[in-house]
Chains A and B, each alone.
Chain A
């Protein structure tokens, strides 16, 4: 049996699954420390199913991407680009929204180093220059550093050496290296590396807390976090690469929605406590964004589902006249601050309670009819607009409504043929986490002197599939999802670096 947990901005959901069946589910407020919320959820699951034998805990969380979207808990971060004399025309964070750039600070350092396409140095790495940069970073009190070298996916040496020089003078720094995070295309890779770096303190804190929570409950099982593509990674890995969890929320909710509803095509709207994600299912899988995805206004080149996020959820603040709902939210303080819990803040959930469509909380809510009506119209209009934007055909499509905030909407939404609310839909995210896929990866340099490329690729694909299977994926479900080869013309023998990823169901 597996436990799937989704830690959202507002609620923590957990499900216990035995194969294809949901045995138990719980919902509890996300706590500021994350830990106690999860501990509460796990305790409740245990009370519900005392004899359950748990094999693994899989956690999906929007915690890190929410931090970027809300510009909070982001550590000041320095960008070190190994590029000079090239690379000056478009400096680090050039295409970022101003307020995010201000949050992590404008600490861009251009240094010598980096490689040409054929592996030659653009200019030699300068140890003294890098140590000086390290000292200046230290003087500003910054401990997060993102290092990006030109052509590092072809030749990572410079980034690794630069990290050593920086660590010499900044021993307590966390250094994120771009070649471990992104693919070819300097700006997008650097952006992803910077986002990763600024999230590492939060990620470390969160994952330590998670591990402790499991230990306290004497749950001695592997802890996984779910990645953007719906596959699992170890918690240690996730602490160093929080950026890889960015799209796991929508991926989990869409995969969970497909699983629970049995539908393979349609739109998925997941209304959480803080945000709403709107995406599309194509043949049972989240539709992928083409080419580039913007996260919090920052362009990256991850493989991610195409999702539109709105600042609308059960905890969204409602204005005095009801004309404005969100994007500000009481987030995890819903059960203290919302009117229906005896608090003072009027949030979207209060509108549902006051209008009689939902029973939530501990206190009755009475609001002026005009405010209720206005807010309901606003919520419907926001969703209809988002659905319309994400639709690629103009006809009506089936809509799967999931997430705890789905009580906010009725069943009539413009542009939809039917609104499906599957059983357990309020825990679709957690279900998605529990049914996460297993991947097998190959990343290796091959020589092509005596072999043809097709042979090498076929071999790498077969190996990735075999790895996925041996890691626990069912052989009939394994599919190759990524194939990339980067010719390394600096090496003799017509060498090429091949990366293949295969994924399948547990």
Chain B
């Protein structure tokens, strides 16, 4: 029910005073309300739930989390107790 997916903003327009747009979700393009995400511009990824953009995806945070997890095994090795000689 709380499913929300990231889509890339393709277009922004006004619909009788409401900031609306179209976003691309992996090839499917849908209308999205951007009224409460004024910082989102064309080309940005936004998280959309039932046609409403909730949040902008922060590319730096996404990269940081992912890199950290990718490097986990190296960290694990660093933290592992040293083998007895």
> Does chain A bind chain B?
no
